[in-house]
Amino acid sequence: MADVTTNSPRLILTDTNFRLWLPLLWIGVIAAAALLAPLIAPHDPLAQDLMLERLPPFFMDGSEPGYWLGTDSLGRDVLSRIIYGARIALFVSLIAATTTGIFGSALGLIAGFYGGWADRVISRLVDIWMAFPPVLFAVLLVAVMGTGLGSVIAAIALIDWTRFARVIRAETMVQARMDYVDSARIGGARRAATLVSEILPNVMPSIIALLMLEMGIAVIVEAILSFVNLSISSDDPTWGSMIAEGRGAIHFAWWVLLFPLIALFMTVLSFSTLGEGLKQRFDPVLK
Amino acid sequence: MNQMTQPTPPALFSIRDLRLSFADRAHKPLFGPAPRVEVLKGLSLEIPEGRITGIVGESGSGKSTFGRILVRLLAPESGQVLFDGKDIGALGEAALRPLRRDLQMIFQDPMSSLNPRHKVWRIIAQPMKRYGRGGDRTDAITALEKVGLSAHFADRYPHELSGGQRQRVGIARAIALEPRFILADEIVSGLDVSSQAQVLTLLADLARDMGLTLAFISHDLSVIRHLCDTVVVLHHGVIVDQGPVEDVFEHPQSEITKSLLSAIPHPEMDETWWDDMPEPA
Ligand SMILES: Nc1ncnc2c1ncn2[C@@H]1O[C@H](COP(=O)(O)OP(=O)(O)OP(=O)(O)O)[C@@H](O)[C@H]1O
Ligand SMILES: [Mg+2]
């Protein structure tokens, strides 16, 4: 018999790997900034110095050495605030996306695999949930629960679990029709064991892709809530609050707005690209 | 082939008046339940122990549906399914689980029936573990070697195998449990002609060596003639012919069987086709 050795496609470098390495690189930079913030931030992100207000970034006339990206209208160092802001952004996105992902995926798996009333209840809940405009919903939730990072995380999980539930339910239904599910039954597997050890590994790439997307969304939601002053206290350096402050000063200190906006945009883009890239990379049948 | 026709062995399965219908959603009226289409219309037959029984019929005649009742992936609507004297037709999943070790199945499409995320050895070993029949890597390799695959296939994923190799893994998984019955539903329809013969001879040899009962679904009568001891011909959910392969093929009772027989392209070529087959690698 001909031995068709198709060596694992996972190890071959292709163009699509750019979609993996570029976002990974950026996220690595942001993660390093977050972890090492006290060591690498050139200034205290909260230190105000009215003598140094609205310094332009290093490549412009009138810049001060050491204030690479300039200062805001209270004289705080923009680069240091972005670095400290990365801490909050990553912390929120990590916790919020994981919570949302576990909760939503579990419901999606159950609905898609067991069908029947479990599916009807979960699907109806998703429909009702999705009828609320999400941003309004988030603002409402945080207003009720009080400001703070915990509320932001809870709001993201409470709103966005439906994304996981919907997508994972549909994927699970597709997988549940595969013969390997019958095959597991023939092999004496219990229903729950089939769901966890047969179907879940096949749905995992989608869950991971969604998780990455969700991390990006969490960064945005946190920024929006900071922007409308519903995240943590406005003194703390979050990208959203920096953007909010920068917006007021756009005509005479555009850098206060632009640099956190770039950090935010790149991070969100990186997460969603990474999600897609990972999904492709872990698809076993994709050649 | 037909060398064992003398005394009729005891029946492993005794099936009486087996019926099943599906809801026909395409013709569902606006109100009220969908009409039901009868797929199996009162089948009665016995499947002799230790023999290979062929199940033939045109597409849509109910072969797979019948087979899935035998291994209890489906439950009959009415009638008896006696397996070794015990009616398994109405058993719940919990009561079936201990019996399932003896009711194995090899699927038509190995790409879909082997989990793409599990390595070959794990696919084979997991059912063994569940039934307390070993279940580590070496046990899986022993089973692989029985189907002519060497140990280095153990760490491959299904997509890294050829079609014939995949189907061998399907066979290995079934025989590793040393079941009493295996259902093989069109297991070679996705393979090229030469691997078809190899896989079929392999399965038939293993079944004879292990003394297990095999039900073999196919719409290829030349294959049935070669592999099976007895045959059942289905047509629109009704048995139109059954008995030892010799008898049915020499003296078909129904027009259906006759027309199926006349559709065999070159019966005289078949002999050499089988005999020239090298032993599976
Ligand atoms: N789950 C189902 N719901 C509704 N109808 C079904 C279902 N499964 C099978 N049928 C119908 O039952 C009939 C018999 O199907 P079955 O799969 O048993 O045929 P078969 O003899 O195996 O055909 P083939 O040779 O094409 O595999 C077909 O008409 C099919 O449309
Ligand atoms: Mg069929």
Lowest-pLDDT range of A149-158, B86-95, B138-147: A149-158
Number of folded domains that form chain A: 1
Partners of residue B55 on adjacent β-strands: B217, B232
Residue A260: CATH number of its domain: 1.10.3720.10
CA of B184 to the centre of ligand 2 (A): 10
B-chain residues near A201 (CB < 8 A): 115, 117-118
Lowest-pLDDT range of A165-169, B86-90, B210-214, B252-256: B252-256
Q: How large is the angle between the packed helices A134-145 and A200-227, nearest 10 degrees? A: 70
Which residues span the domain enclosing A252? 80-282
From first to last of its 287 residues, what are the pLDDT tens digits of chain A? Answer: 344 444 444 444 556 677 788 999 999 999 999 999 899 888 888 888 887 787 788 888 877 778 778 888 788 888 999 999 999 899 999 999 999 999 999 999 999 999 999 999 999 999 999 998 887 888 888 888 888 888 889 988 988 999 999 999 999 999 999 999 999 999 999 999 999 999 999 999 999 999 999 999 999 888 888 888 777 766 678 888 888 888 888 888 888 889 999 999 999 999 989 988 888 777 755 53
Task: For residue A7, give the chain B residue with the closest CA.
Answer: B160
Helix residue spans in A63-199 (DSSP H):
78-114, 116-130, 134-145, 149-176, 179-186, 191-194
Asked if the C-beta of B165 comes within 8 angstroms of chain A's C-beta atoms, the answer is yes
B-chain residues near A283 (CB < 8 A): none
A-chain residues near B165 (CB < 8 A): 1, 4
Asked if the C-beta of B195 comes within 8 angstroms of chain A's C-beta atoms, the answer is yes
Q: What pLDDT does A9 receive? A: 46
Interacting residues of A117 by C-beta distance below 8 A, sequence separation 6+:
none
* Distance in Å, alpha carbon of A205 to nearest chain B alpha carbon: 11
Whose tokens are 């200034």? That residue is A43
CA of B39 to the centre of ligand 1 (A): 7
CB contact at 8 A, B88 and B80: no
Ligand 1 binding pocket, CB closer than 6 Å: B 22, 39, 57, 59-65, 219
Domain ranges of chain B: 11-27+34-265
CB-nearest partner of A187 from B127, B148, B198: B127
- Nearest-atom index, ligand 1, CA of B68: 18
Interacting residues of A4 by C-beta distance below 8 A, sequence separation 6+:
B161, B162, B165
The band of B265, judged by pLDDT with boundaries at 50, 70 and 90, is low
The CATH label, of 3.40.50.300, 3.40.47.10, 1.10.10.920, 1.10.240.10, for the domain at B11-27+34-265 is 3.40.50.300
The protein residue with its alpha carbon nearest to ligand 1, atom 26, reads: B59
Q: What pLDDT does B155 receive? A: 96
Q: Establish if A38 belongs to a structural domain.
A: no
Task: For residue B192, give the chain A residue with the closest CA.
Answer: A1
Q: Establish if A115 belongs to a structural domain.
A: yes
**In this predicted complex, what is the ipTM?**
0.88
